[in-house]
Structure 1
Amino acid sequence: MNRRPLRPAAALTVAGLLAASLAACTPADSAASGDTVTVGTLRAQPHLFTPFFYDDFAPEGTEFEIVLFDTSTDIKNAVVSGSVDFGVTGAPSVLAGVAADQGVRIVASSADGGTRIVGSPDIAGPQDLVGRSIGYPMGSSQEILLKLTLAAQGIDPADVELVNLPFAEMAGAYESGQIDAMSSAEMGPSIAMEAGAVEIVSPYETPVGRVNIVLATSEELIESDPELVQQVVDAHVQASEHLAASPEEWATGLVEEFGLDPAVVERAITNVWPRWALDDAYQAQVFALADEMVAFDQLDGAPDTSQIFDTTFVEASTYAD
């Protein structure tokens, strides 16, 4: 696997990204160079690792530079500002961008799953969550999946203690006893399970399903350089298929790139399903996610559903079955 140098998020604050976008290049300038395409993603998360395989499927003369961020919102903001060309990011961040009329579009799906609801071994089932502390990241799909799952089990959120925590702190909070359970994205749940936590209930039995990660770009780049967008979507389709067919290489890449525990990685990737398609059923689940974001006050108003997706490129890809 040929990987290009990474740019860490720590060196690219949101303010710095916005300033860089004004002083340096626009999406059209980046596309015109034809040399390097920048892709934002999150660090050390298996469901956002697909860009690390893009170079293996890049057309001649195109290289990919991976830019690491700490949150999906930061990735979306970088795409909107033009500081990165594309983002592999959480669907909620793009929906928020569409609702705010920021000119960001989903051009492919990227990964389903990546969420688990786990807790201490004495929690035998969902009803045992009553009176317990549950970690979750506010504003994420994991918050929505948790609250929908609790409601389906007849549990009022007021009957549990909800603790807002960043993804990176979730496993440590469980280990220290700060929380009894978590609804979180990998790797935290798998780290906890390797330490003895158990899976309590599936988070996927809601109208949202497994929807989680998408490939997004700006409306400006779509309009200014559709050929580049097609090339990136083609690479994304092939890389997604490769990860699905080669989980061992996927796991090895994560371990080598981020120094992760191999046992944790192997567990985590069994909870992630790489994908690229934007079929009607998938779109319906994303629309359901948008509705729930409004219902849970993550959005002030529903995004225009006609502005969420641009399916042109997956439909035109010669690599899509």
Structure 2
Amino acid sequence: MRRPTPAALAATAALLAATACGGTPTADDADGLTTVTAGVIPIVDVAPVYLGVEQGFFEDRGIDLRLESGSGGAAVVPGVISGEFDFAFSNIVSLVIAREQGLPLTALSNGVTSAGEQGADFGGVFVLSDSDVTGAADLEGLTVAANNLNNIGDTTVRQSVRAAGGDPAEVDFVELPFPDMPAALETGQIDAVWAVEPFASTIREAGHREIASNFVDTHPDLSVAAYFTSETRIAEDPDLFEDVTAALHESLAYADANPDEVRRILADYTEIDPSLIERMALPRFPEEIHEESVRTLADLMVTDGLVDEAPDLDGLLR
């Protein structure tokens, strides 16, 4: 998500005014459950919520959870604000920026967390096997691909460069979709890529080198993403969202304790090659957001100019 333009801020204000009351979950007369809709994207990170539905954690709390999967995460924030989704999943940087734009978003639970181990995280920075780059500091003056600019990828890669003694301002970031990164790296279109699973494993297995674990360099317990809703939605039905949060926590705990179940369910909602699913690195799924790691990330957002001043995280982290 890029920094807001005046037109974007005006559009945000109009959206807030038009949807101030939001929608409300509906009761399903057939079974007495309350229908709740969540916006997700088909990636490894959301495996816990799929497992939670399968295991009945939401139904046990009277919730009929409908998962709406899209091709990307750009629509989930306006989807929550408009009432299309009751809650959704997004990375922390996007949520902080949205709050700074005036959107009253608030986190319900953690979503996904760095594995915390150098060279064994679910994402990293990669170069060709014969590259002269040996560490993140060597990225000065080179081009590095990230799926979005001014977001969690380039923010954390800059921290890897900084931690290695380099100047992150000298790195040229270019926007490139994850699926295009392996070919772009091999053809020399870019010098390095920041990739997450399953693309990270594809690059590793092609023999290329990982030179930094950018999430770990930022914080070993980095909360990368969260499930969130709007303050308006919680005010409309606080008991419902207490139940949603409890079910999310149970789902995350189940996923964290059962990595084989995570790998199994990925085949149900993603198009990842089954053989790759068995080999790729998984993140962690703790229930609670690691607040210190989020504050570290917010400080970096100020340092790198994504936001103009220290964001107020109290509303987001509630």
Task: Please tell me the TM-score bracket, short chain as reference.
Answer: 0.7 to 0.9
Q: Which runs of 5+ in 2 are unaligned?
A: 1-10, 115-121
User: How far is the alpha carbon of 1:251 from its aligned partner?
Assistant: 1.0
TM-score under structure 1 length normalisation: 0.79
Would the alpha carbon gap of residues 199 and 164 (structure 1) be closer, same or farther in structure 2, given more than 3 Å must change?
same
TM-score with structure 2 setting the length: 0.80
Which stretch has the larger CA shift, 212-221 or 116-125? 116-125
* Cα offsets for 1:169-222 (capped at 9, x unmatched): 323422443223212333322221122222212211235852201110110111
Name the SS of the counterpart of 1:109 in structure 2.
strand
1:88 alignment partner in structure 2? 89
What is the CA distance between 1:101 and its match in structure 2?
2.3
1:307 and 2:315 are equivalent in the alignment = yes
**Is 1:121 matched with 2:129?**
yes
* Counterpart AA for 2:145: G
Query: Over aligned residue pairs, what C-alpha RMSD do you find?
Result: 2.8
Alignment partners' CA distance in 2, 1:140 and 1:308: 17
Give distance in 1, aligned partners of 2:231 and 2:283: 28
Which of 281, 284, 291 lines up with 2:299 in the alignment? 291
Letter in 1 for 2:126: V
| Distance across 2 between alignment mates of 1:208 and 1:98 | 25
Alignment partner, residue 119 of structure 2 = none
CA separation of 1:160 and 1:30: change in aligned 2, threshold 3 A: same
Partner of 1:30: 25
- The answer to whether the 8 Å contact 1:125/1:201 transfers is no
How far does residue 47 in structure 1 lie from its aligned partner after superposition? 1.6
- Write out per-residue CA displacement over residues 280-301 of structure 1, whole angstroms, 9 at most, x where no aligned residue: xx21211221222222222244
For 1:133, the equivalent position in structure 2 comes to: 143
What is the match of residue 7 of structure 2? none
| 1:99–1:302 Cα contact (<8 Å) kept | no
Retained in 1: the 8 A contact 2:139–2:161? no
Structure 1 vs Structure 2: percent identity of aligned residues? 26
- 1:78–1:201 CA distance, 2 compared to 1 (3 A): same
State whether residues 155 and 304 of structure 2, in contact with CA within 8 Å, keep that contact through their aligned partners in structure 1: yes
- Report how many aligned residue pairs link the two structures: 286
- Is it true that 1:76 corresponds to 2:71 in the alignment? no
Deviation of the 1:37 alpha carbon: 1.1
Alignment of 1:143 onto 2:151: no
In terms of mean alpha carbon deviation, does 160-169 or 245-254 score higher?
A: 160-169
Distance 2:220 2:310 in 1: 15
The 1:290/1:69 distance shift into structure 2, 3 A limit, reads farther
Q: Secondary structure at the residue paired with 1:49?
A: helix
